Amino acid sequence: MLNCVVIDDEPLARGILEDYLRRLPFVGSIHPFETARAALAYCKNHEADVLFLDIEMPEMNGIAFLNRIADAALPHPPITVFTTAYRDYAFEGFELGVIDFLLKPISYPRFLLAMEKIRDFLALKDQNANIEENPAEAPLGSVFVKSGVQRIKLNFDEVTHIQGLKDYAIIYTNTGKIVLKGSIKFMYDIFPKNRFLRVHKSFIVAVSKISRIERNRLVVNGNQIPVGRNYKDEVEQVLLNRKR
């Protein structure tokens, strides 16, 4: 059962998320807050599983709030979803370990997708999976993932993109997801550079899976992936060479 915190200075937006959460049988408690300051005090003294966080708020905005949460070094920091009316702000949140963003007005189907992503992450995280580095029997173009006593071959061709989430990485494939213990930098060192491109502090994509670029984002297998400012020139050059 998930303990969820909702932070938004707009009563209507806060109420919508409360209503959505009440419909889910796996949500145990909901704690709404009008200010980030009040929510910060709660999170320092209570363990929250999921945080729905608005960005534009008076006194302390959502990004400042997440920085304060990081400074507090909570033993079990909440999984965070940004809720915002500003798409460009939302992409900045990925650098702070946000798992997803919901663009206002938030529809119930889109909200359910975010909750599915959260539940998948929590379930897969408990499997404590790791990549085995260069085992002798690993064929070219793949790595082995170890989860408990199981060893699973992961073909690079199956991977669409990778998202870094604090100390974990979510590997998205054509058929599902794998959550691994390890940083996004570690994953970038493992995956071949001629096939995978780091496009953001928190994202790696398979070049062959990019369908199009839209301003500061890529579309990969139907997913919108942000392009960080420091990576934009390299991304554009790789895509230009791909067209030749």
Torsion of CA 242, 222, 103, 26, to 10 degrees: -140
CA 164 to CA 180: how far, in whole Å?
Answer: 10
Domain that holds residue 147: 130-231
Q: Tell me, what CATH number does 59's domain have?
A: 3.40.50.2300
Model confidence at 18, in pLDDT bands (50, 70, 90)? Answer: very high
CA 18 to CA 100: how far, in whole Å?
Answer: 18
What is the structure's pLDDT at 224? 87
Percent of the chain with pLDDT over 90: 51
132 has a pLDDT exceeding 80: no
Give the number of C-alpha atoms closer than 13 A to the C-alpha of residue 74, restricted to the C-beta side.
19
237 within a domain of the structure (yes/no): no
241 has a pLDDT exceeding 90: no
Find out whether 50 and 32 touch, Cβ atoms under 8 Å: no
Q: Which of 125, 150, 177 is the last residue of a domain?
A: 125
CA 107 to CA 59: how far, in whole Å?
Answer: 28
62 has a pLDDT exceeding 70: yes
Q: Which of 97, 125, 153 is the last residue of a domain?
A: 125
Same domain assignment for residues 64 and 113: yes
